[in-house]
């Protein structure tokens, strides 16, 4: 392989990998705090991509407002999903397997709903900007540079949120010791619900970003889910930095 092709392949891999890392962040957050593995995470990320496409193409919003609107919708969806679907299950014996079965079924339902609503054709959102940065053999699209910067900034802000905000510290407390968190007055159920909402919003936002880089279709969710699952295995279950570094 020529040096030029190798360098460009590495840059393209870093861009796409950073987006998958953002998606894995939502998965590891929910897994580390609520202690369930959401097998519908890939489908939810695809849903976020479709919502961003809808807000951009059909509702006439700009690219950035469309991405933010999609993330907001997915946050609401995540909170409602927890209260109506996950919360009743985790209060019963054998909830570990029941939540796995529930999220697997949810993934199938989401896939079919997206297929019926948007059809099988590929969808995509235009790039933020056109053109490339060139230096010697290096050639990086400005769009990819923006995506990498967004992901890095997002991880930094998320770490600051977890460390310095009251709710961020509540999330960490529940993740480390649920009973101890309850003793000091933290509402565990509310923390679970909002964490689930944040996890789904992160998944939807990453899916929206991926839709500016890749085509989206309902059947791509398994591929996205597998990549996110590999990232949290390599990076460590519940580790934010591990999701980025993996």
> Tens of pLDDT along 41-54?
999 999 999 999 99
Give the span between the Cα atoms of 23 and 18, in whole angstroms: 9
Give the span between the Cα atoms of 54 and 165, in whole angstroms: 33
Look-up: residue for tokens 């580790």?
239
> Tens of pLDDT along 155-186?
999 999 988 999 999 998 988 888 888 888 88
What was the pLDDT predicted at 238? Answer: 66
What is the C-alpha end-to-end distance of the chain, expressed in Å? 25
What was the pLDDT predicted at 236? Answer: 72
What was the pLDDT predicted at 1? Answer: 52
Longest dimension (CA), the chain: 61
What was the pLDDT predicted at 44? Answer: 94
Q: Select from 136, 104, 123, 102 the least CA-distant residue to 39.
A: 104
Residue 79 and residue 197 in contact, taking contact as beta carbons nearer than 8 Å: yes
What was the pLDDT predicted at 66? Answer: 93
Positions of the chain with pLDDT lower than 50, given as ranges: none
What was the pLDDT predicted at 221? Answer: 85
Instruction: Calculate the CA 178 to chain-centre distance.
Output: 24
Residue 203 and residue 44 in contact, taking contact as beta carbons nearer than 8 Å: yes
Based on its alpha-carbon atoms, the radius of gyration of the chain, rounded to whole angstroms, reads 18
What number of CA atoms fall less than 13 Å from residue 189's CA on the CB side?
9
Is the C-alpha dihedral spanning 92, 97, 100, 106 positive or negative?
negative
**What are 132's strand-pairing partners?**
141
């Amino acid at each position: 392989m020529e040096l030029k092709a190798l360098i460009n392949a590495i840059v393209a891999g870093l861009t796409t990998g950073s987006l998958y890392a953002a998606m894995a962040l939502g998965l590891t957050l929910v897994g580390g705090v609520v202690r369930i593995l959401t097998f519908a995470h890939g489908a939810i990320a695809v849903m976020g991509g479709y919502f961003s496409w809808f807000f951009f193409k059909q509702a006439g919003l700009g690219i950035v407002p469309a991405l933010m609107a999609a993330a907001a919708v997915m946050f609401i969806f995540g909170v409602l999903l927890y209260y109506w679907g996950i919360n009743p299950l985790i209060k019963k014996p054998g909830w570990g397997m029941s939540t796995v079965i529930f999220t697997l079924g949810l993934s199938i339902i989401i896939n079919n709903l997206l297929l019926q609503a948007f059809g099988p054709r590929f969808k995509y959102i235009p790039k933020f900007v056109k053109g490339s940065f060139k230096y010697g053999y290096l050639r990086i699209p400005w769009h990819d540079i923006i995506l990498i910067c967004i992901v890095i900034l997002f991880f930094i802000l998320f770490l600051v949120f977890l460390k310095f905000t009251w709710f961020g510290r509540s999330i960490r407390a529940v993740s480390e010791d649920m009973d101890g968190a309850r003793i000091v007055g933290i509402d565990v159920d509310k923390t679970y619900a909002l964490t689930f909402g944040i996890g789904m919003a992160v998944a939807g936002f990453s899916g929206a970003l991926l839709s500016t880089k890749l085509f989206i279709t309902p059947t791509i969710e398994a591929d996205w889910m597998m990549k996110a699952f590999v990232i949290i295995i390599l990076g460590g279950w519940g580790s934010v930095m591990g999701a980025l570094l993996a």
